[in-house]
Amino acid sequence: MNKLKIYKMFEEAHLPVYGSDWAACFDLKASIRIKDIITVYTSNNNMFKLTATPNKEGKVAFSLKAGYRALVPTGLIFDLDETQSLRVHPRSGLSIKEGIILANCEGVVDGDYVHQSYITAFNVSNKVYEIVDGARLAQAEIVENNPVEFEVVTEQPRDKTNRKGGFGSTGK
């Protein structure tokens, strides 16, 4: 089994976990401490900061309003090498049941990025969603990079199959 080096920015930061023995991706958790400053963007793209506080149950949390996006800290720095990237995906259950997706559909952490990784949570529901410390908000996988050289050609590519067009052209 391969190993991935992870630096915890503070002792309570939550390590990733696999949800099952055959899981393709590991879950990324929110690592939020009291008084952490969270960067939030409104539906009108106005940025503001809010402070994480204990909720009614005493857990550290913050509320993400409908249509708002937030940079949720993981408390982790991933020590990737030059041949790797970390791909962050939404969690399917959270997406369909709660309307919490990733603002950029898929996050990419490059091998030379050596700072805290964040989850770009986006609330597409019509209700406020509470993000609690330790919540599994996204899933991620290590991907081997496949760099290419670009070659400009003078002839447009020809059809390779019987496919004609895109955007639903192959049927439902």
What CA–CA distance (Å, rounded) separates 140 from 24? 9
For position 169, what pLDDT does the model report?
Answer: 62
Half-sphere exposure of residue 32: CA atoms within 13 angstroms, side-chain side: 31
- Tell me the mean pLDDT per 10 residues along the chain, length 172: 93 97 97 97 97 96 98 98 96 96 96 97 98 98 94 92 73 66
CATH of 5-144, one of 3.40.50.1980, 2.70.40.10, 3.40.109.10, 3.40.50.10420: 2.70.40.10
Q: Where are the chain's structural domains?
A: 5-144
For position 165, what pLDDT does the model report?
Answer: 73
For position 158, what pLDDT does the model report?
Answer: 87
